[in-house]
Amino acid sequence: MGASSSTPLRECWPSIPANRIWKLYSESINSPQKFWGKQAREHLSWYRDFGIVHSGSFANEDNAWFLGGKLNASFNCVDRHAFEDPDKVALIYEADEAGSGRTLTYGDLLREVCKLSHVLKGMGVQKGDIVAVYMPMIPEAVIALLACSRIGAVHSVIFAGFSADSVRDRVFDAKCKVVLTVDESKRGGKTIGIKTVIDKAIAQCPTVSNVLVFKRTGAEVPWVSGRDRWWHEELRKWPGYIPPEEMDSEDPLFLLYTSGSTGKPKGVVHSTGGYLVGAASTGKYVFDIHDGDRFFCGGDVGWITGHTYVVYAPLLLGISTVIFEGTPVHPTPSRYWDIIEKHQVTQFYVAPTALRLLKRYGSEHVTGARSHLRVLGSVGEPIAPDVWKWYFETVGKTEAHIVDTYWQTETGCHAITPLAGITPMKPGSASLPFFGIDPVILDPVSGAEVDGNNIEGVLAFKQPWPSMARTVWGAHERYMDTYLKPFDGYYYTGDGASRDDDGFFWIRGRMDDIINVSGHRLSTAEIEAALIEHPTVSEAAVVATPDEITGQSSTAFLTLKDGSEVFETLHAELVLQVRNTIGPFAAPKGIYVVPDLPKTRSGKIMRRILRKIMAGEVDQLGDISTLSDPSAVGKIIEAVKAAA
Ligand code: WTA
């Protein structure tokens, strides 16, 4: 199997180091066993070396990497660096309150992780058990992940913006025994009652026997005696060392629930060896991480970006990682730049949504010394050329390399991305595949590979890579149906993409019903399901609408049950319904109550028509005469116009 012959990757990398990279890339595709075997031995310490680098295929759904290998994630992230230099800074915590925070050395981190590991074991957590983590961006969140992996437990982080209902569904699905959380969190100057959300969620989860609560604000919180324990009190009881558990390379490291195209989120499962190799190798090559670097990823640990690039990649490579609890505009829109200057950050990584917001505030807020910044990363959504230019010129002063990294919860780490200092930059293009990724563009209808350049279609990967998700928790058929079955023999990304004349890839956005609001991945089906729970709502159709700041926002079209009328507080109630069912970040921006939705005669809602209406392209609706009631369209157009 080779890199798509039509993609002249060699020409894309013209300089001398690039030729070396081309050689490496070719090896990663043509001899993946050799390439990944070397990467795995170079970046990780194994208790027992693996015998076979890779076995299995997409078709047989049995991909496995580094077979026979034994390792521990926490040992690789903490112990080996702590033994070498216990005083090296591991975590730099910047609290929501500007000027406050603390640093933890690798020595500190090892002790904290070990103490928490003891506590978890004391609560009955065993190898293979799933532990839920519902925490804000504080060092204890990182400690939580590492303590789970140390004892062979599987972490399932739930973004702290999810509502009690969402937490309940995730904890219930994974049958978690223990939940790690805080009393309250602080973000952008606001205080959020985290423990009360957990109490509500856990009330319906019989598997949870213990909740461990870290005291972040010290507020009075409701307490279930016997079940709830204070973090500081429990950790005090245990010594600062516990040996790590020897895990099999294919043992699951974590679950991360993510939105699919149905209403029910999927628990994406990542394995230990493969995921860690992906995290370390992308950290090294994409971000050019070197010893002594200080890495600042603004992503939240509740999403994959936080897992791989706040926690695993920087710690595997033994550098310092910034944990930022706040928002980019609190107390001022210079907060990121203050942190970057204060900690002499070398790599900075955020979603374009934050950049759009900061650009709008004005370049005068981009202050402080930034000459130490070598790499500026972008993630999670397309970055528009004007925002890219602002990032490059205003933030990076044309001296830092911009890496527009395309990947997914399911890929585990970067898939299509520039390599810092090597790949030529094109604003708006995620550029070229990372090692081991063999991307192809498929015709969405026939599934045939579209050869040549200057072409468009759906993006798929032709061969397995170490950090690919192995399954969906308890629902392997969903894994197959979503990723491996749509196009036989390929991993289907769900994204549309094009390849330009130079062989560079441009991501065009999702082909399914997943939307991306401020870098938060949501499914329109999830929001629809939430809206339908309101007693007056009969049917709901949610579509993505382009948004200047959040990238996309959601717009809901609803019909009401017979006899129901629009009342004054309906809009507010519907927003609350979504906030309570999913979380505040999922609330639709626009809500239209209409007499009917555009449907085919067989009853299928034509969301495409709604998207066109929202885009103002009412002259491009296509043939609507086949709808069960074509007049519904005119009424919707009127409703949208009236609200404008
Ligand atoms: C989108 C986030 C354009 C894409 C790491 C993908 C991007 C989805 C980019 C995954 C990028 C991610 N350019 N689009 N650089 N990176 N996406 O699972 O649609 O939260 O399928 O992972 O985000 O979102 P997820």
Query: For a substitution probing ligand 1, which of 261, 268, 355, 381 has the most ligand atoms within 8 Å of its CB?
Result: 381
Cα 406 to ligand 1 centre (Å): 6
Q: Is residue 60 within 8 Å of 464, Cβ to Cβ?
A: no
Query: Which atom number of ligand 1 is nearest to the Cα of residue 303?
Result: 20
What three-state secondary structure class fits 248? Answer: strand
Residue 417, pLDDT score = 98
Residue having the nearest C-alpha atom to atom 12 of ligand 1: 380
CA 631 to chain centre: 41
Query: And the tokens for 427?
Result: 């604003």
* Cα–Cα distance, 375 to 402 (Å, whole number): 6
Q: Which amino acid is at 94?
A: E
The candidate with the shortest Cα–Cα distance to 121, out of 153, 144, 143, 146, is: 153
Ligand 1 midpoint to CA 507 (Å): 9
Q: Is the peptide bond before 424 cis (omega within 30 degrees of 0)?
A: no
Residues 6 or more apart whose CB falls under 8 angstroms from that of 97 comprise: 186
Closest CA to 145 of 126, 117, 124: 117
pLDDT, residue 18, reads 65
Q: Which two tokens stand for residue 331?
A: 């107390």
Cα separation values, 36 from 20, 43, 308, Å? 16, 10, 18
How would residue 17 be classed by pLDDT, with cut points 50, 70 and 90?
low
pLDDT tens, residue by residue, 73-121: 999 999 999 999 999 999 999 999 999 999 999 999 999 999 999 999 9
The CA angle 349-353-357, to the nearest 5 degrees, is 105
CA trace torsion 505, 410, 61, 67 (10° rounding):
100
Nearest residue CA, atom 20 of ligand 1? Answer: 521
Q: Hey, whose CA ends up nearest to atom 25 of ligand 1?
A: 408
Q: By three-state DSSP, how is residue 567 classified?
A: coil
Supply the pTM of this predicted model: 0.94
pLDDT of residue 4 exceeding 70: no
**What's the CA gap between 275 and 283, in Å, rounded?**
12
Residue 14 has what pLDDT? Answer: 47
Structure-block tokens of residue 314: 């920087």
DSSP 586: G
3-class SS of residue 594:
coil
Query: Is the model's pLDDT at 216 over the cut of 80?
Result: yes
**Token duo for residue 197:** 């959300």
Q: Write out pLDDT tens, residues 79-89.
A: 999 999 999 99
Percent pLDDT > 70 in the chain is: 97
pLDDT at 581: 94
Q: Dump pLDDT digits (tens) for 228-253.
A: 999 999 999 999 999 999 999 999 99
For residue 16, name the pLDDT band (cuts at 50, 70, 90).
very low
Q: Rounded distance, CA 600 to CA 630, Å?
A: 9
pLDDT band, very low/low/confident/very high, at 11 (cuts 50, 70, 90): low
Give residue for tokens 């600042």: 296
Q: Which atom of ligand 1 is nearest to the CA of 521?
A: 20
What pLDDT does 260 receive? 78
Using CB distances shorter than 6 Å, the residues near ligand 1 are 258, 303-305, 379-382, 404-409, 430, 493-495, 507, 509-510, 516, 521
pLDDT band at 457, cuts 50/70/90?
A: very high
pLDDT one-digit tens code per residue, 340-395? 999 999 999 999 999 999 999 999 999 999 999 999 999 999 999 999 999 999 99
> What is the average pLDDT value for the chain, to the nearest integer?
94
pLDDT band for 622, please (50, 70, 90 cuts).
confident
Say yes or no to pLDDT of 160 above 80.
yes
> Measured between alpha carbons, how far apart are the two ends of the chain, in Å?
54
